[in-house]
Structure 1
Amino acid sequence: MSGTAPAVGQVLVIGASRGIGLELVRQYRADGVQVTATARDDDGLARLAALGAQPLRLDVATAAGCSGLAWQVDGAQFDAVWLVAGVYGPRQTGLQTPTQDEFDAVMHTNV
């Protein structure tokens, strides 16, 4: 990426709809790297396609989504894989204590 990373030809970015993941896609594509990138919604998939990445739908919070990704990339050979997907629970105002289910969902996905 911009001369700072070793030369790569194919990269997978898991969690690329915004933030760090989206910026990784931008920089790799600017360097001419083939990028496969995941997002969980149509807007994210459209952003990735507009950058020239191969977009794949993935919700890392579900086992079905994760196993589905394995089938979609079966046989692909990546030079680098970035896992930057995650969830942060429901948006709240203030310092409300999360419910046990909310806490578990975040921990099971991110940890």
Structure 2
Amino acid sequence: MVIYLYESFAETYQGHGTDVALVAGLLGMAPDDPDLSEALKIASEIGIKISFVLKQEKSEHPNTVQLRLTKGPRILTVTGISIGGGNIQISEVDGFKRALSFGSSFK
């Protein structure tokens, strides 16, 4: 798995815990999971290899992340934006533009 971080995410991802939060979410952990802080370790222990790539170019939003997930020959690319207040928007899936919003404001 490769996680591309843009703009402010690229600058602050470790200090603000973005790396841990992204991996915890991919593992299906809830925000109040007591093991959330161990998400990177858990992923490693179960054989998930993760690379964080810091991108210099501008993106559609300062808090943009692109996930490149692979399993065998299959590749899934998802681009998302943290829009604040615990909410995210999926803006692209495998090159197709989308506008899917999730989070506490969208229940």
Same fold (TM over 0.5): no
In the superposition, the TM-score normalised over structure 2's length comes to 0.29
Between structure 1 and structure 2, the one with the greater Rg is: 1
Instruction: Compute the TM-score of the two structures, normalised by the length of structure 1.
Output: 0.28
Q: Which has the higher helix share?
A: 1
